[in-house]
Amino acid sequence: MPSLRSRLWSRFRTRAVATFGRRALAAVLYGVIAFPLALVGFFLTLVGLAFGGALSVTTLGLWLLAATVRGASALGALQRGLARRLLGLEIEQPGAEGGGTGVSAGGILSWRRGILLDRTGWRAVGCALLTPFTAVFAYAAVVIGYIYGALFTLHPLLKRWNYNTVHTSDGTTHHVSLEFFGYQLDSWPRWLIPFTAGLLLLAVAPLLLRYALGPHRALLTVLLGPDAATRRIRTLEETRARAVDDAAATLRRIERDLHDGTQARLVALAMHLTLIRELVTAGAEPDRVLTAVDTARGNATQAITDLRHLVKGIHPPVLDEGLHAALTTLAADSALPVTLTTDIGTRPTPAVETIAYFCAAELLANTTKHAHATAAAVDVTARDGLLRLRVTDDGQGGATIGAGSGLTGLLARVRTVDGTLTCDSPPGGPTVVTVELPHT
């Protein structure tokens, strides 16, 4: 077991990294920069709106308002960049601005009109007016947690500078050291009071700063990111593109399977039927005719099997009997022992059943090929307009979405019906993949 000294050293090192590590210092730098930047943006935006509004009956006022909106948008872009680099906060681009970055095809007046009618730009204006009220919390957290924490901790070394200046009635000036309940902290062991307080402030400074940045992060995300309508449009565009690509890939696969498999066997069947006709016409021996008949029958049987497999890949016929029956067949055909649990109150739509079936098939295939699992479980519930499919295995874990594991394709498939897919797969397992599909 590690000694007490090593445990204390490990805790001290962990706390030091949390307080003065790269990420912590980046957050401190952001807290120092964000408030002055917000104040400058607030002042310029407020002045621009005030003068632009007062002169809005003139052309100059409209141009001033347009310039204010563009300036707020530029400030928003700068704030997104700082948040991404220093806080690791990824804020999506809100979308193309109404006026763009240059003069549009309709002329400079059309460009100005586009800026003034752009909702994204006015949301950036609102953000510029509100950020000082949220950034001040982070600034205060840096001052209290880090600056005062450092000053108190170093008080034994800085005691000559840590004092208050007192002016008496007779005109004299005195330097009074820090006081605590009337006691001056200018000698040992009174130095321990600010020293301990400083250590405590530095210890809680990262937590204090994180909570102080919460309102500011939320404000930036809401006002500088895309709104709900834009997110919905982007999701629909992405899912439509993926659905089109998936349909094209499916058609290419069907064409390839038909050309390389079924068509070749049917051609061979036709050739053997022609051979049989020639053998019968020429009065060949029965054994040669029977051999040709057996070969032709084998080709016909294999062609039927290929067609069934192809149809099953498009839409499994067993799905006509319901999702429970289809998943039961899928679990029985799996190479691993699969425990199936279903609770389907209201039968989903055929499209949702098909997506759920293929998701279960792909997840079980991944479990067999990549997870090195010994058993899997499939749990399906369909209640209150939501179908939830959960596939669990006892494999090695480590599966992530977007790492070439096939989960990305499944995510694209479920998003075509506004579904979600989550993966919980810590190293060492178990892996739990949950698919939720609305079906009302």
CA contacts within 13 A on the Cβ side of 7: 4
Asked if 127 and 220 touch (Cβ cutoff 8 Å), the reply is yes
Omega before residue 156 within 30° of 0, cis = no
Cα 358 from chain centre: 24
Structural domain boundaries in the chain = 1-226, 231-314, 319-438
Our CA angle for 277, 280, 286, nearest 5°, is 125
The CATH H-level (homologous superfamily) assignment of domain 319-438 is Histidine kinase-like ATPase, C-terminal domain (3.30.565.10)
- Interatomic CA distance for residues 49 and 111, integer angstroms: 19
84 vs 79, 88, 120, 207, CA distance in Å? 8, 5, 19, 19
If you search the block for the tokens 């006081």, which residue do you land on? Answer: 179
pLDDT tens for the chain, residues 1 to 440: 456 556 655 565 565 555 666 787 888 888 889 999 999 999 999 999 898 888 878 888 888 888 898 988 889 889 998 888 888 888 877 765 444 445 444 578 787 787 888 888 888 898 999 999 999 999 999 888 888 787 777 766 655 555 555 455 555 554 445 555 445 555 566 556 566 777 787 788 888 888 999 999 999 988 888 766 666 666 666 666 666 666 666 667 666 766 666 677 777 777 777 777 777 777 777 777 778 777 777 777 777 776 666 665 556 667 778 888 888 888 888 778 888 888 887 788 887 888 888 888 888 888 877 777 888 888 988 877 888 889 888 887 777 776 555 677 777 778 777 788 888 888 777 888 888 888 76
pLDDT at 403: 56
Calpha distance 103→410 (Å, rounded): 42
Q: Rounded to two decimals, what is the model's pTM?
A: 0.53
Give the 3-state secondary structure of residue 236: helix
Decide the pairing of beta strands 173-177 and 163-167. Answer: antiparallel
- Residue 239 CA to residue 163 CA, distance in Å, equals 65
Q: Residue 110 to residues 61, 116, 279: CA-CA distances in angstroms?
A: 16, 10, 83
Taking the C-alpha atoms of residue 222 and residue 134, their distance in angstroms, rounded to an integer, is 13
Q: How far apart are CA 374 and CA 392, in angstroms?
A: 11
How confident is the model at residue 101, as a pLDDT?
A: 46
Contacts of 49 (CB under 8 A, 6+ apart): 65, 68, 125
The pLDDT, as a whole number, for residue 136 is 92
Q: How far is CA 107 from the centre of its chain?
A: 39
| Contact predicate 439/419, CB 8 Å | no
3-state helix, strand, coil in the chain (%, to 5): 65, 10, 25
Nearest to 339 by CA among 328, 323, 347, 324: 328
C-alpha to C-alpha distance for 356 and 348, rounded to whole angstroms: 10
Cis peptide before 430 (omega within 30 of 0): yes
What is the per-residue pLDDT for 190? Answer: 57
> Structure tokens of 428?
């060492």
